[in-house]
Amino acid sequence: MKQCITVDEQIALLRSHGVSFELMSESDAREFLYSRSYFFKIKSYERNYTRVGTAGSYTYSGLDFAHLVELSYLDFALSRICLSLALSTEHFLKVRLNQLIMSDPKSDLSEVLVRRILNGDTSSIRYNPYTEDMWMACNNAPSIWHLWELLPLNEHIRLYTSYFDYRGETAPFAHLLLILRKLRNAVSHGNCLLADVSRPSEQRRQSEGQKYDKEVTLAALRMCEVSPRRNSGKKKALNEALDRLVVNNFAAALLCHLEFADSHKALSHMMSDLKRFSERIERHRPLFFGDLHVETPRNQLINSTLSAIQRLISGYCRQAERKLTKLTPIDYSAAVARSTHRDSLTGGDTDRADLGGLDARPEAITDAEAEIGPRGGCHAGGH
């Protein structure tokens, strides 16, 4: 059994594997490994570099400790973005299905779907202190509107596909929603998305490299306004990147959100967060992984993966802006006017001190306070 090693021994081991400490000093690296992260997680990003075998050991070429740290920062930010996309999409998936059921002429459709999804077995029901009272009130016989709050995402996707199966139709985006579920599970458990960006997509892996994920790839190309029929260097680069697991999954998450989110706030907040994430990628990408001051990229694999993620973000934002022009925004001005009435609970600005230091204006939250991810408490259920 391997023994634990000290931070100094971790630094020495990294040095023996060819990791340099030029962009980040050893003292800063020591502090990072002690209080910001841990050795096994940081070391996992080495897999993105070519390993050269040497006399019973191995080394990496062109790898600085700062590169590993940067990948860990980007990984964390990407995970938060993906979780935000998943939570928001899950909310709007429920909204979409609720709309479909309300507009369907079959009065017993909701009961049929409940029977189909549960089949007398309520073991898939997940309840906690926030939903326990609801489950008790159901008395083991939930209605479909109870299921919005009681089912996990996987069962919601089953419920969604069951609706279309009942109608004899193919459920749109079913494949992409299943990818989103796996991605959500990964980031919820803190799995590293960028530890090995060469991981192939599920279709490539399962077919031993023979098949690509046609549904995701073609939809992603359309989102980025790239013709599948036209050959170009940019199309080839994006195609190759979409064969990688993290790019494939991120594209599926963006496409699902773009399809199901029908809210000005949801789309606008996501666009803002994605643009800030893309800017964060660009902060060190050219120097750490790209071809700044050199003829070829320092790490083609990482550089092309990050560039593909940025390109997908640009495509999503363009399509989201177009979708926004077709949506009718909700006017909250009347509610705002009522909330500032002299008899309201919060009163006016004179009562701001009673808010315990919290600013009641979400728009006043700075980027530094919000960082990357959902802002101002705007979670999936609160659009």
Name the token pair of 310: 């940025």
Query: Token match 């959100």: residue?
Result: 257
Q: What is the pLDDT of residues 156-179, one digit of tens each?
A: 999 999 999 999 999 999 999 999
How far apart (Å, rounded) are the C-alpha atoms in residues 310 and 315? 9
The answer to whether 249 and 311 have CB atoms below 8 angstroms apart is: no
The CA–CA distances, whole Å, from 219 to 119, 121, 216, 269, 313 equal 34, 36, 5, 23, 14
How big is the chain, counted in residues?
Answer: 383
Q: Which residue has the higher pLDDT, 3 or 63?
A: 63
Mean pLDDT of 86-91: 97
The CA–CA distances, whole Å, from 182 to 32, 162, 187, 264 equal 30, 20, 9, 27
Q: What is the pLDDT of residues 22-58, one digit of tens each?
A: 999 999 999 999 999 999 999 999 999 998 887 778 8
The answer to whether 21 and 29 have CB atoms below 8 angstroms apart is: yes
The CA–CA distances, whole Å, from 8 to 11, 25, 27, 43, 371 equal 5, 13, 10, 15, 32
- Name the CA radius of gyration of the chain, rounded: 24
Mean pLDDT of 358-378: 40
| Res. 338 pLDDT band, cuts 50 70 90 | low
Query: Which three-class secondary structure state does DSSP give residue 211?
Result: coil
Give the per-residue pLDDT at 234. 79
| Res. 339 pLDDT band, cuts 50 70 90 | low
Q: Is the pLDDT of residue 124 over 80?
A: no
Which residues partner with 51 through β-bridges?
60
How far apart (Å, rounded) are the C-alpha atoms in residues 235 and 245? 18
Q: Looking at this protein, which amino acid is placed at residue 163?
A: Y
Q: Looking at this protein, which amino acid is placed at residue 233?
A: G
Q: What is the pLDDT of residues 189-234, one digit of tens each?
A: 999 999 999 999 999 999 999 899 999 999 999 999 998 777 777 7
Give the per-residue pLDDT at 111. 87
Q: Looking at this protein, which amino acid is placed at residue 22?
A: E
The answer to whether 215 and 246 have CB atoms below 8 angstroms apart is: no
The CA–CA distances, whole Å, from 46 to 31, 53, 70, 194 equal 19, 14, 12, 10
Q: Is the pLDDT of residue 144 over 70?
A: yes
